[in-house]
């Protein structure tokens, strides 16, 4: 009896383990090559740095080195004069920080260059290094996060969360944000909640990236039945790391305290009717066009639910203004530390 013919386009589950082995080996090979390349750039950068610091070389010698490599190693790429100085800058930026330098080989050179050239502070570089590794950002997504000033916003504007959320999910402060950038929707200044809702669903991939890697989409206008009435939750997600449902309610206007009551009601309905026995209590997010931080503080202070209030922003922030505020923030912290 002849074996059945299996076409090249048919999935055969018998071979999944072999395919997984091949895929794993390829990924390991790519990572090994990247690790060695970053180590090489580090070593070359260190060599050039020492020569220049000891005044054994001048800048012109680095130019001569680039020309020599181009002439004697015609197939060698990436060793132009500019890149050689980048390697030196790369080495000098991280040589005194072993904790951070250990992260460098986990990212491609293009990612390292973006972070090195567009970050002004050591804390900022470490922030983007860790998040790029954790979130597995592409080059394009890393560029976007640098452009939307994620670091400055995270330091200056930490997430506004209830005390219950801090107690039940301490790590949530590192996951949720005070503001989410949705400039990719191209929404006009005056837009309705339906425009926002439809836009987020149409660009769900981008919204999931903005939320963070561990968010999984569950449903839109998610039905909840309480008593004899039907309700619909705007957006429902699940967070793998927090092991809980995350309810998001959308508001196109300013945050009002009464919105929190409705969100609390939805969280109770989720915990009673949807939450699995192994899951943690649901978290609620009110995503508003704007908010008054003092009003938010008052509203959250007595809240008995794990909830937070965040803004959505449809335009790129003024990065220079945020950097100025960040400078003031650091200066204030230094002054307070000196007083203590």
Per-residue pLDDT tens over the stretch 251-302: 999 999 999 999 999 999 999 999 999 999 999 999 999 999 999 999 999 8
Is residue 282 a part of any domain in this protein? Answer: yes
Q: Into how many domains does the chain fold?
A: 3
Count of residues in the chain? 340
Which residues form the domain of 32? 18-93
* First and final C-alpha spacing in the chain: 86
Is residue 3 a part of any domain in this protein? Answer: no
Q: Which of 303, 190, 308, 169 is nearest to 247 (CA)?
A: 308
Is residue 117 a part of any domain in this protein? Answer: yes
Q: Which residue has the higher pLDDT, 171 or 113?
A: 113
Is residue 252 a part of any domain in this protein? Answer: yes
Does pLDDT of 10 surpass 60? no
Quick one: 161 and 285 in the same domain? Answer: yes
Distance CA(84)–CA(109), nearest Å, equals 13
Quick one: 233 and 185 in the same domain? Answer: yes
Quick one: 176 and 296 in the same domain? Answer: yes
307 and 163 Cβ atoms separated by less than 8 Å: no
Quick one: 55 and 175 in the same domain? Answer: no
Quick one: 43 and 112 in the same domain? Answer: no
Quick one: 171 and 265 in the same domain? Answer: yes
Tell if the pTM clears 0.85, that is, is over it.
no
Quick one: 64 and 144 in the same domain? Answer: no
Quick one: 82 and 116 in the same domain? Answer: no
Q: Hey, which residues does 223 pair with through a beta bridge? A: 232
Is residue 329 a part of any domain in this protein? Answer: no
Does pLDDT of 47 surpass 80? yes
Q: Which of 31, 43, 48, 30 is nearest to 105 (CA)?
A: 31
């Amino acid at each position: 009896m002849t074996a059945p013919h299996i076409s090249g386009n048919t999935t055969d589950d018998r071979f999944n383990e072999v395919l997984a082995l091949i895929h794993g080996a390829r990924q390991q090979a790519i990572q090994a090559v990247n690790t060695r390349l970053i180590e090489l750039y580090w070593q070359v950068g260190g060599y050039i740095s020492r020569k220049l610091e000891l005044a054994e070389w001048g800048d012109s010698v680095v130019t001569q080195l680039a020309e020599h490599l181009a002439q004697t190693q015609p197939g060698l790429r990436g060793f132009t004069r500019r890149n050689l100085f980048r390697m030196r800058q790369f080495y000098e930026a991280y040589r005194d920080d072993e904790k951070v330098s250990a992260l460098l080989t986990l990212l491609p050179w293009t990612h390292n260059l973006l972070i090195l050239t567009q970050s002004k502070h050591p804390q900022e570089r470490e922030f983007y290094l860790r998040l790029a590794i954790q979130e597995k950002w592409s080059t394009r997504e890393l560029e976007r996060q640098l452009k939307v000033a994620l670091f400055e916003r995270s330091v200056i504007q930490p997430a506004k969360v209830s005390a219950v959320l801090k107690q039940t999910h301490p790590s949530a402060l590192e996951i949720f944000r005070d503001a989410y950038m949705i400039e990719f929707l191209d929404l006009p200044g005056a837009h309705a909640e339906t425009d926002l809702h439809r836009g987020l669903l149409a660009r769900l991939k981008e919204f999931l990236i903005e939320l963070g890697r561990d968010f999984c989409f569950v449903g839109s206008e998610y039905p909840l039945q309480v008593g004899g009435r039907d309700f619909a939750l705007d957006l429902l997600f699940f967070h793998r790391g927090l092991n809980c449902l995350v309810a998001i309610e959308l508001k196109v206007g300013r945050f009002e305290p009464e919105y929190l009551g409705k969100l609390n009601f939805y969280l109770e309905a989720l915990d009673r009717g949807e939450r699995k026995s192994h899951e943690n209590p649901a978290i609620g997010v009110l995503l508003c066009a704007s908010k008054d931080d003092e009003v938010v503080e008052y509203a959250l202070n007595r809240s008995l639910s794990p909830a937070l209030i965040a803004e959505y922003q449809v335009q790129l922030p003024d990065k220079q203004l945020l950097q100025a505020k960040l400078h003031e923030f650091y200066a204030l912290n230094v002054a307070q530390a000196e007083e203590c």
